[in-house]
A and B are shown apart, each in its own frame.
Chain A
Amino acid sequence: MESFAALLQGFAVALTPAKLMYASLGVLLGTAVGVLPGIGPAVTVALLLPVTFKLDPSGSLIMFAGIYYGAMYGGSTTSILINTPGESASMATALQGSLMAKSGRAGPALATAAIGSFVAGMIATLGIAFFAPVMVKFAVSFGPEDYFALMVLAFVTVSATFGDSPLKGLISLFAGLSLGLVGIDKLSGQSRLTFGLPELLDGVEVTTLAVGLFAIGEALFVVSQHRGKDEILRLTGSLWMSAQDWRRSWGPWLRGTAFGFPIGALPAGGAEIPTFLSYSTEKRLSKHQQEWDTVGAIEGVAGPEAANNASVAGTLVPLLSLGLPTSATAAILLAGFQQFGLNPGPLLFAENPQLVWGLIASLFIANVMLVVLNLPLVGLWVQLLKIPTPWLYAGILMFAAMGSIATKGSVAELLMLLVFGVLGFMMRRHGYPVAPMVVGLILGPMAESQLRRALQISLGDPLVLVQSPIAATLLAISAIALIAPFALKGLNRFRASED
């Protein structure tokens, strides 16, 4: 019950007029950027990170929470109305959502997505409030070797297990690990891979990499294809859901949340799995089978959208309690924490409980604000989608450059941004996922320092890695998760050649 007392204190921090203003500003900005086609929550947060620089830590983290939820909401609007999901986790929503929009029910589709996100967000945030402290208690007994094993598991699941091609995912991860080596080594004070350039001593910024790979890479990819803008479906149908819509939505919302939160909260995060699990479950349970291939079924929007939100909120559990990012968005959130010199993990809960609980409370507030502000404003967000493509991407590129100008303002930083942009473009063109690279950059140095700490304590005995039962189990799971996709593929090929 101490969670509740702490959470109430958190609300006392977050419910001041100034903090509420930050939260609403964050929600509005997050939605405005998140609604742009091809821009997912990870880039939105990366693009808007500089905006929060000069605020005090608690104020800017609260704004952050707003941006984060706003970005996810904006993404669902885009996937329903123009069927170009900004990220793979919105793909399931786009399937039925765009069918509904085409048959004149865009309003209820947007409403069930928004209210479903709200319901899932509320339950998942409650989950964070309960499970994060439990995880913290558990994590206090973790040694450095256990943390290292946990990070190895996160590497494998982010890059290999869930992608189309584990090889391409691993290549992306290792490119990120290589970038993570750049800069001064914290334990020995020696500089690595800086080639005598003082600009590289601080290492590569996660936000620079993320904005370059995602935002600039996407803009270059779109222009390279001369892909015209996809048709924007008209916003038709009342935004109010009918009694039948409500009856058909609440079950999928709750089931989606039940899929999303646990899968997100495991260090094997990833929002794609729960959204597709929810989609197929709802399709099986639906009493309106004929709608799925014709006019679109509301269950197919309500469930996956709730699952998406719940799983993204779930990734905050390992992030806050262990300092472990398990998705690109979480990696950028971690960079946001680090920008204020805060390191999430058990220590943060002990040293700065006001800040942590203030953040959790503002997740609740941002969630409420989202429904209150955004659903009525949906007409405005749709107008944003109508900006002509050249201006849209020119604006995105301006924003991308501005972030790096505002933080560092150096020529070297801008050139790095461009190099990462071109890299992101080529990776997109050849089907390499970019998220593992971002996670590798931020998690690589952390894994290295945990490993070195573990070996220092054990006086250099590498067996320490398998002597701890936790570490041994986690490493074994990682090994299985790494080999399984290759083994399955080999098995398939074997079967295919037999035919």
Chain B
Amino acid sequence: MQSSSRDRSGVVVGLALFGLAGVLMWDASQLNRAVAYGFGPEVMPRVVSAGLVALGVFSVIAGLRSDESRPGRFHVADVATICLGFLALTACIGLGGGFIAAMTLLFVATCWAFGRRAPHVDAALGVALATATYLLFSKLLALSLPAGPLEKLFG
């Protein structure tokens, strides 16, 4: 029972490092190495992946020996809500929904994740903030932000 409460994350990290090193090695093997002197583009990835393997070994050892307790449980659903909000923003930008709508989606999702249960108020606030930011940045600082139906109103 005791072993399950210990922090074994070092083992997982070590395995991930081995995986990353494998990807680097595979990619390096695809490179064309025609260099007169010095070394070509494939050497640095090899050096880095050698380092990753060494660190991976140490990390696995540290993970197995670890006597630290695991970090406590966390609220997965709330973390996921923010991530989903961010994905919604990405989709909105990608599908041409515009800056203001995208920002509002993220704003409402984040407020929900942090425990607020007033999406209408948050949506109104999000639209107001996003519109103000849009106007400030596109008009004053001449940054081009993606325009959707809402933004065209300010054209």
Asked if B41 contacts A190 (CB within 8 A), the reply is yes
Interface with B: A111-119, A180-188, A349-357, which one?
Answer: A180-188
Residue in chain B with minimal CB distance to A226: B75
For B130, the chain A residues whose CB sits under 8 A away are 398
Q: At the interface, yes or no: B135 with Cβ under 8 Å from chain A?
A: no
Determine if A401 and B74 form an interchain contact, defined as CB atoms under 8 angstroms apart: no
Please classify the interface of chain A as helix (H, G, I), strand (E, B), loop, or mixed, using the class held by over half of its residues: helix
CA separation between A444 and B52, bound complex, in Å?
Answer: 14
Bound-state Cα–Cα, A405 to B115, Å: 27
Q: Which residue of the partner chain, among A181, A192, A397, contacts B110 with CB atoms under 8 Å?
A: A397
List of B residues within 8 angstroms of A415 by Cβ: 90
| Known contacts A178-B48, A192-B41; A409 and B58 CB within 8 A of each other | no
Which residues in window 1-31 of B have CB below 8 A to A? Answer: 7, 9, 13, 17, 20, 23-24, 27-28, 31
CA A271 – CA B145 in complex, angstroms?
Answer: 37
Interface residues of A in 376-406 (CB under 8 A from B): 388-391, 393-395, 397-398, 401-402, 405-406
Contact of B106 among A391, A397, A406 (CB under 8 A): A397
A394-B110, A398-B130 are known contacts. Are A452 and B55 too (CB-CB below 8 A)?
A: no
- B-contacting residues, A429-479, CB 8 Å: 429-430, 444, 448, 451-456, 459-460
A402 and chain B: residue at smallest CB distance: B133
Q: Which chain B residue shows the least CB distance to A52? A: B141
CB distance from A39 to the nearest CB of B (A): 15
Q: Mark B36-75, 1 if CB is under 8 A from A, else 0.
A: 0111110011001001100100110010000000010011
CA–CA, A418 and B13, complex, Å:
20
With A178-B52, A223-B82, A398-B133: A418-B87 Cβ-Cβ less than 8 Å: yes
- Smallest beta-carbon distance A53→chain B, Å: 6
A452 vs chain B, min Cβ distance (A): 5
CA–CA, A485 and B55, complex, Å? 15
Nearest-Cβ distance from residue B64 to partner chain A, whole angstroms = 13
Selected interface stretch from A12-20, A169-177, A299-307: A169-177
Chain A residues within an 8 Å CB radius of B7: 430
Whether A414 touches B90, Cβ cut-off 8 Å, given contacts A174-B55, A175-B20, is yes
A391-B37 in contact (CB<8A): no
Residues of chain A contacted by B146 (CB below 8 angstroms): 405, 409
Tell me if B90 and A456 are in contact (CB < 8 A). Answer: no
State whether the Cβ of A277 lies closer than 8 Å to any Cβ in chain B: no
User: For window 302-359 of chain A, which residues contact chain B by CB distance below 8 Å?
Assistant: none
Whether B103 lies near A406 (C-beta < 8 A) is no
For B107-127 the 0/1 string (1 means CB < 8 A from A) is 100110111100000100110
Contacts of A448 in B (CB 8 A): 44
Main secondary structure of the interface of B (DSSP, over half): helix
Partner of A192, one of B31, B74, B76, B111: B31
* Separation of A175 and B129 alpha carbons in the complex (Å): 36
Q: Which of A186-201 contact B (CB under 8 A)?
A: 187-188, 190, 192-193
Partner of B41, one of A167, A171, A188: A188
A224 at the interface (CB under 8 A from B): yes
- Nearest to B87 among chain A residues (CB) is A418
In the complex, which residues of chain B have a beta carbon less than 8 angstroms from the beta carbon of A418? 83, 86-87, 90
Kindly state the separation between the CA atoms of A418 and B87 in the bound complex, as whole angstroms. Answer: 8
B residues in contact with A175, CB < 8 Å: 20
A417 neighbours in B (Cβ, 8 Å):
86
A64 at the B interface (CB under 8 A): no
Tell me, rounded to whole Å, the shortest Cβ–Cβ distance linking B30 to chain A.
9
A305 to B115: give the CA distance in the assembly, Å: 36
Query: How many Å lie between the Cα of A101 and that of B148 in the bound state?
Result: 48
Assuming the A-B contacts A429-B71, A456-B38, are A405 and B93 also in contact, with contact meaning beta carbons closer than 8 angstroms in the complex? Answer: yes
Q: Do A185 and B41 touch (CB < 8 A)?
A: yes
- Per the bound structure, the CA–CA distance linking A226 and B110 in Å amounts to 13
The docked-state distance in angstroms from the alpha carbon of A448 to that of B24 is: 15
Q: Are A421 and B86 in contact (CB under 8 A)?
A: yes
Nearest-Cβ distance from residue A455 to partner chain B, whole angstroms: 4
Query: Given that A405-B99, A411-B93 are contacting pairs, would A455 and B38 also be in contact in the complex, using a CB cutoff of 8 Å?
Result: yes
Cβ of B99 to closest chain A Cβ, rounded Å: 7
Complex Cα–Cα for A167 and B14 (A): 11
A220→B27 CA distance, assembly (Å) = 32
Q: Does B94 contact A (CB under 8 A)?
A: yes
Assess whether A279 is interfacial by the CB under 8 Å rule.
no
Which residues on the B side are within 8 Å of A395 (C-beta)?
Answer: 107, 129
B113 contacts A50, C-beta separation under 8 Å: no
Is residue B142 contacting chain A, with contact meaning CB distance below 8 A? yes
A190-B32, A394-B106, A398-B130 given as contacts; is B39 within 8 A of A460 (CB)?
Answer: yes
A225 to B75, CA, bound (A): 7
Q: Is A153 an interface residue (CB 8 A)?
A: no
In the bound complex, CA of A411 to CA of B52 (Å): 30
Q: How close is A485's CB to chain B, nearest CB, in angstroms?
A: 13
Q: Is A92 located at the chain interface by the 8 A CB criterion?
A: no
- Tell me if A425 is interfacial: C-beta within 8 Å of chain B: yes
Known interface pairs A390-B111, A405-B99, A406-B143. Does A422 touch B83 (Cβ–Cβ under 8 Å)?
yes
CA distance A193 to B40 in the complex (A): 15
B114 pairs with A393, CB closer than 8 A? yes
Known: A223-B114, A398-B129, A414-B86. 13 other contacts (CB 8 A): A54-B142, A171-B55, A171-B59, A181-B44, A181-B45, A185-B41, A193-B27, A390-B110, A390-B115, A391-B125, A394-B126, A429-B71, A430-B13
22 pairs, CB–CB < 8 Å, chain A vs chain B: A51-B141, A54-B142, A167-B59, A171-B13, A174-B51, A178-B52, A190-B32, A192-B27, A223-B82, A226-B78, A390-B110, A394-B122, A401-B89, A402-B103, A411-B94, A417-B86, A418-B87, A429-B74, A444-B48, A453-B38, A455-B39, A456-B37
